[in-house]
Amino acid sequence: MATINDNYLKLKAGYLFPEIARRVSAFAEANPDAPIIKLGIGDVTEPLPEACRTAMVKAVEDMGDRTSFHGYGPEQGYLWLREKIAQHDFQSRGCDIDASEIFISDGSKCDCGNILDIFGSNNSIAVTDPVYPVYVDTNVMAGHTGPANETGEYGGLTYLPISAANAFTASIPHEKVDLIYLCFPNNPTGAVASKEHLQAWVNYARAHGSIILFDAAYEAFITDPTIPHSIYEIEGARECAIEFRSFSKNAGFTGTRCALTVVPKTLMGKADDGSEVALHGLWNRRQSTKFNGVSYIVQRGAEAVYSPEGQAQTKALIDFYMENARIIREQLTAAGIAVYGGVNAPYVWVKTPNDLTSWDFFDKLLHTCHIVGTPGSGFGAAGEGYFRISAFNSRENVNEAMRRITEKFRV
């Protein structure tokens, strides 16, 4: 009989979002007439921008003509898209990022897990707590951790607690760690990091030879002009950071799938013999071997994001969701519920009322209000007693959800 990867057996009973889906499905089956509103998983609801749709239709037509047909594309992504990204997302902000350092992919979630392929199994790893579960679970799957304890913390990981007390920005660890996962604007708390805070992380990483894995999937939602959108706005980041970005939330590509990872050519890792190796080449080799690239049609849609029409339309989408976040934040605050985030991110991080646990609040919201959110404890032990509410939904649903919640949970 073939053996399995036993590391999968260390994973907790269910990944957070499938467990939510299981509970919601059971409730819906028992209560088929309940008008459920889902503010849990961060999936978008509004249509793709017209500029993207138009470009994709044109690309489909290209595929119907032998002279403009596209088969396998470059695994790193088409140059015309990477050049637009380099110019608009990085160089316009003073970031020294070249198109050749950008890799197009089918999702930043995928890349956050796949990036482990190019790193050794003996690295020490730091994650915030609460944390986007993918960072932890993919390290468990790769055999980089021990088993989980009773609070769900895995041996071998360094957890950096974030809370209201430290404005949900992790303190720099005293000990050396090799890989550091940072997510700003943060999922799940909605917090952001100042330039000074990120500079401190970059300084730490350079001093210790560490690599920062910087998830900037929500950078487009930043409204404060003093907050960096990219780690590469920070001096020295080219020598210590990999950045992940996505078209999923800013342009509604959750079901279309397009993202990118930036690996500077100046970024180095250490081989077993002590020699330094460029990570750019390793990631390129990994992608060329395991990935055949994002479709031509999707990449044309992503390219249209950078057209004048695409820029205006994606801004309108972002503004729409951020207005939802404002409504959620202000309505819950008026009801006496403590909330965080929702200013520079599409997530509102809620302190559960009446000392309810995260999952008790989830069940109570589902059963009494027919509202679905995300239990904070699913993001880590430090998330217990908190709850994430997503702004990704229609205005009608957001208004109705807030009406139901504030009627039942006014403090």
306 is in an annotated binding site: no
246 is in an annotated binding site: yes
Cα→Cα distances 174→29, 171, 197, 247, Å:
50, 9, 16, 35
Cα→Cα distances 85→44, 187, 219, 252, 262, Å:
22, 23, 14, 17, 10
Buried b vs exposed e over 375-411: b needs ≥16 C-beta within 10 Å? bbbbbbbbbbbbbbbbbbbeeebbebbbebbbeebee
340 is in an annotated binding site: no
108 is in an annotated binding site: yes
3-state secondary structure 323-351: HHHHHHHHHHHHCCCCEEECCCCCEEEEE
The answer for residues whose C-beta is within 8 angstroms of residue 146's C-beta and 6 or more apart is 10, 154, 155, 156
The residue type of 278 is A
Identify the burial level of 117 via C-beta atoms within 10 angstroms of its C-beta, where 0-12 means exposed, 13-18 middle and 19 or more buried.
middle
135 is in an annotated binding site: no
123 is in an annotated binding site: no
Which of 85, 108, 98, 90 has its CA nearest to residue 302? 85
257 is in an annotated binding site: yes
15 is in an annotated binding site: yes
How many Å apart are CA 354 and CA 88, to the nearest integer?
Answer: 46
Question: 265 and 49 in contact (C-beta within 8 Å)?
Answer: no
286 is in an annotated binding site: no
377 is in an annotated binding site: no
139 is in an annotated binding site: no
204 is in an annotated binding site: no
Which of 333, 328, 331, 337 has its CA nearest to residue 411? 337
The answer for residues whose C-beta is within 8 angstroms of residue 266's C-beta and 6 or more apart is 238, 239
The tokens for 160 are: 């950096």
Number of residues written out for the chain: 411
In a 3-state reduction of DSSP, which class is residue 283? helix
- Give the Cβ contact number of residue 4 at 10 Å: 8
Q: Which residues participate in the annotated binding site for pyridoxal 5'-phosphate?
A: 72, 108-109, 132, 187, 218, 246-248, 257, 292
Indicate the annotated binding residues.
15, 42, 72, 108-109, 132, 187, 218, 246-248, 257, 292, 388
Binding region for substrate: 15, 42, 109, 132, 187, 292, 388
